[in-house]
Structure 1
Amino acid sequence: MAGCELDSLEETLETHLPEAELREVKRILFGKQTEKLDLPACAVDAASERNFELKGYKFEATQEQLRPPRKVRVGLVQNHIVLPTDAPVLDQINAMHSRIGEIVEVAAMCGVNIVCFQETWTMPFAFCTREKEPWTEFAESAEDGNTTHFCQELARKYNMVVVSPILERDEQHSTLWNTAVVISNSGNMLGKTRKNHIPRIGDFNESTYYMEGNTGHTVFQTQFGRIAVNICYGRHHPLNWFMYSMNGAEIIFNPSATVGALSEPMWAIEARNAAIANHCFTCAINRVGTEHFKSEFTSGDGKKAHHDFGHFYGSSYVAAPDGSRSPGLSRTRDGLLVVELDLNMNRQISDKWSFKMTGRYAEYAEELSAAVRHDFKPNIVKE
C-alpha cells in the first residue's frame, strides 16, 4: 500500500488487532485512553453531507475541592485546497472561505470555543516553488484583510475564538510575514503572532517569502483560557514551545504544512513531548492532499525537478500534559477534530512532576548567554 493511501494508523490497528491487544497497544502508543466525546447527531450528519471527517474526544482532569473544572472545547481543522493552484487568486480565496465556513458551522454545533485552521489556510502552500507570482497576491493585511473580516464574522456569529494563520502583507514595512491572527469571540482582533523559525530544508526553504518573526512569544488571554500559536517549523525547537509556556500559555496551537517523506515519523512525537515538558495542552494541525504546481521546481539536492512537494498527511491531534493524546484525524481526508480539555489538568500535572520547579533556568540562561558569544568554548574536560 502506498504511503499516501493509508488513511490512518488508528484504523489500521483497529482493523488488524484483537480487542485485548488493541487496548494495550493504544495504551503504549497514546497513553491513558482518551474518552470519546458525544457529538450532536446534527453535526455528524452535516459533516457527512459536507464530506469531512468529524471526531470528538475529551481529557478529564481530577475533580478538585477548591477549583471547579475549567472545560474548554477546541476545534482543529485540516483540509485540502479547494481549487487547482492555477485558478484565479480571488476564486481560490473565496472557495477556501466557503469550505472553512461550512466546517466551522459544524464546530459551532459541537460547542467549540476555540477553532484553529492550518498554516496559511487561504492558499496553496506555494512558498517552496520560490516563484513570487501569483503567490504574493494571496498576502493580506492582518488587521483589515478580507480573511480577517471573514473570521471576525464567524467569531461573532458563533461566540468562538478563531485562530487564522495567513500570509500577512505588512504595507507599513513593505514586508511579508507568516502570521497567525487571533480573533476574540467578541469579534475583535485580539492580536497577531508571527512564525519564529523559518525552515531551510529540502523543498521547504521559505525565506524567499518571509523571514523569522519579530513578535516574540506572544500569549493571548481569551475568555476560554490563555493560548499561543507556535507556527509550523517552530515545533522542532523545544525552547520555542518552552517560551510560550513561560509566558503563561495553557493551550499551544501548532498550525502546520508538512509532508510525509520529510517529517511524518516526528509528527506524533513533537507536540506530545511539548505538552509533557511544559505542563500544557498542545494542538498539532496539518493540511491534507498533494498540491500540484504548473511550473517545475527543484530542491537544490541534485534530484529531478518536480511539480509537488509530496503528500500532506493530516493526522491532526491534541496532546495533554499527562502524556496522553487523542487519536489523529485521517491522513487523506478533510476533517474537524473536537476535543474537550479541562485546563485544571495543567496545574495538577505540574504539581505531580514539577518540571518547571526543578528546572535550572538561571543556570541555563547563564550558559546559553555564553554559548551564543563568538568566543564560546564548550565545557569539555579532556585528559
Structure 2
Amino acid sequence: MYTQFFNFKEKPFNLVPDPGFLFLSERHEKALTFLEYGLSEKAGFIMLTGEIGMGKTTLIRYLINQVDEQDTDVAVVFHTNVSGTVLLRRILSEFEIETEPGLDKASLLELLYELFIDRYAKNRKVFLIIDEAQNLSASALEELRMLSNLQTDKDLLVQIIIVGQPGLRDKIGSNSLRQFAQRISASFHLSPMTKDETRAYVRFRLERAGGNPDLFTPDLLEKLFVVSGGIPRTINLLCDAVLVYAFADRVSEITKDHLDQVIEDKGGMGVFTAMDMENDPVSEPEPEPEALPALESRIKEIEGRLTCLTAILDSSLAETESRATFCRDQLVDRLTRLYKEERKKNQSLIFHYSRLKEKYTALLADQNRIENYHTRLDQCGK
C-alpha cells in the first residue's frame, strides 16, 4: 500500500521475524555471541530469554541460517504447551522421523537415541531449538534433560537451545528443576534497546527496505523510544501504523503528530506501549506513612524466617549429598566384589571345560583305535 508511495522495496516494519532485517544492538550482538560460542564449544543447554517482542525468534532464525547444512541437522519446536510424550513426538517429527501411533515414552526416547547415535557416527552435529520454552511443563523439561544425558566420553550427541520469556528463568530456578538448571552452560537475557539504539534501529530498517533513513523526524524518534520502551516489536507496530497514517495524508515527512495520532487511536490497532503501564489505573496504591514501621517490621520478620529456612535447606541438601556419596561408594564396592566373584567362577568354568575337552579328545582317540583294531581283525578273518 504505502511501499510505492515512500519508494520502499518491501515493508520496513513487518512483524514477521525476518533474519534479513536483524539489527544487532549491543545486547542482541552479545546474545548472538553467546549462542555461537555455546554451539561452537559444544555446550550442553543454552538458554536465551527476553520479554515479548525482543527479537529472540529473529536471532534464532538468523543463527539457523548460518548453520552449515552439509554437516548439521537442526530441529525447531515452536508449540510447547504439551506433555513430555507429545514433545518427544514433535521433536522426532522435526527431525523427519515418522512414529507409529501409540508408542510409549520409552520407545520415543529410544528412537531419538538411535537418531543421535546415527548422526554422530556420520560425524554430523545435531541442534535442537525449543522456542516459547516458558510454556514447557515440568515433565517436558525433564524429558529434555534426559536427552542431554546421551553423550560419548568427550562429546554431547545433541545440543539444545531453549528460548523463552522471563518466566522460563523463574521456572528453571525452582528447586524441582535444580538438576535441569545445572545443565545450562550458557545463558543470556535480552533487555530493551536504548534511545540511541532505537533511533539507529528505525533508520536501519527504513534504509534496508530501500527507503529514506531520515523519513522520520527527530522529535518523532524521541517520543517513539518513550512510548515503545525500546522493544522492537512495539516499535514495528507503531512505525508501521505511522507510515499508514502518513500515506493517508499524502505527506513525505513524518512527524511526531502522526505518532500522537496513532497513540490516540491505538485502541483498535493492538498497539501496546510503555505509556500504558505508566497510566495503568489498577496500579498498587502506595502505603500510608504511618503503616511503614509495621511494614518494615513485617519484612524483617519474613527475612529472618527466610534465612532460617535457607539454612535448614542447605543443611538438608548437604546431608542428602553426603548420603548419596556414601551409597554410591557402597554400590561401587558391591559391584566390584560381584565382578571379582563372577570372574573367579568364569575361570573355574574355563578350567573344568578344558579338562572335559581333554578327556573327550582322549576318549575319541581310544574309540578310533578300537575301530581300527576291529577293522584289522575282520580283514584277517577273511
- Relative to the length of structure 2, the TM-score reads 0.25
Write 1 or 2 for the structure with the bigger share of helix: 2
| TM-score of the superposed pair, with normalisation by structure 1 | 0.25
Q: Tell me which protein shows more strand as a share of its residues.
A: 1
Bigger radius of gyration among the two: 2
